[in-house]
Amino acid sequence: MKLYVGFCIALISSVYAWADKATYVNQAPVIDGNADEAFWQQGPWYKIDKHILGELPSEQDFSGRYTLRWDKDFLYLLAEIQDDILFDAHPDPRERYWDDDCLEIFIDEDYSGGEHLQNDNAFAYHVGLDNQSVDIGPAHKDGSVNVRLLNEHIHSEWKRSAESPFIMTWELAIRVFDDTYSDSSHNKSVTLQEGKKLGFMLAYCDNDGSAEREHFMGSHEIKPVNGDKNLGYKDASVFGELTLVK
């Protein structure tokens, strides 16, 4: 019986305990949407196949995977995304950005977890098809919501292959900021080191022409709260563990 209970606990924790690894690179990738740096092909690849919102898409409608690298200045992300229709209905990158196709990168520098909707305990960068990054920050003085462009945090470029299955190669260099980040001061990004653990998760908002996004798929299984799995934008406790290794 004890063995059985132990097995069940191990099984449950393996479902929810995500442990990604980013490997060190001596030479930074050229951020151009071409994965022709040899190290990108070495993986490990992690799938973006966990359902968060909407209907479950077919593979052609949406599928994706990613791999991670790092050096002292940046976390590098290569995502391969298959999306049948690219859709960007809102030219203002701060308007309903979650209802346009976007890659959503969740980063919690110290893996503290916890609430982060209107503070900088963690970031939920929505990177649009125009390569601009947006996240909500601390509220304005009058209490209104502060939707910020954070383009200095992320350099993003993508290209779509010219042949079927028309995969988008999305290449990004991400500066990591800790929870002392402030919109009003000059911020220095964190110097990354071997063994460092961050909170991390990746997702894709897929819309193919509807008023609202049709699917929201993520890399990490999220334990629902009152049936809701769309928690990453406000709660860093649903992120997984990312370790920087050499």
- Where on the chain is the footprint of Ca ion (CB under 5 A)? 29-30, 32, 34, 61-62, 83-85, 87, 101, 108, 110, 112, 121, 179, 206, 208
Of residues 8 and 212, the one with the C-beta less far from Ca ion: 212
Q: Give the chain's largest Cα–Cα span.
A: 59
Q: How far is the CB of 1 from Ca ion (least distance, A)?
A: 39
Q: Which residue is nearest to Ca ion (CB)?
A: 112
Nearest to 68 by CA among 191, 200, 193: 200
Structure tokens at 50: 């966990």
- Say how many Å lie between the first and final Cα of the chain, rounded: 41
Q: How far is the CB of 225 from Ca ion (least distance, A)?
A: 20
Q: Does residue 135 contact residue 102 with C-beta atoms inside 8 Å? A: no
Q: How far is the CB of 208 from Ca ion (least distance, A)?
A: 4
Instruction: Provide the residue type at 73 as one letter.
Output: D
Rounded distance between C-alpha atoms, residue 123 and residue 171, angstroms: 19
Q: How many CA atoms lie within 13 A of 43 on its CB side?
A: 5
Q: How far is the CB of 8 from Ca ion (least distance, A)?
A: 31
Q: What is the DSSP letter of 176?
A: -
Structure tokens at 71: 């050096």
Of residues 24 and 113, the one with the C-beta less far from Ca ion: 113
Of residues 135 and 206, the one with the C-beta less far from Ca ion: 206
Q: Does residue 152 contact residue 94 with C-beta atoms inside 8 Å? A: no
Rounded distance between C-alpha atoms, residue 154 and residue 177, angstroms: 11
Of residues 100 and 219, the one with the C-beta less far from Ca ion: 100
The runs of H, that is alpha helices, within the chain are: 2-16
Q: How far is the CB of 138 from Ca ion (least distance, A)?
A: 14
Of residues 23 and 34, the one with the C-beta less far from Ca ion: 34
Q: How far is the CB of 36 from Ca ion (least distance, A)?
A: 6
Of residues 49 and 110, the one with the C-beta less far from Ca ion: 110
CB atoms within 10 A of CB 88: 15
Of residues 85 and 145, the one with the C-beta less far from Ca ion: 85
219 contact partners, CB below 8 Å, separation of at least 6: 18, 20, 46, 47, 48, 49, 50, 66, 201, 202, 203, 240
Q: How far is the CB of 214 from Ca ion (least distance, A)?
A: 7
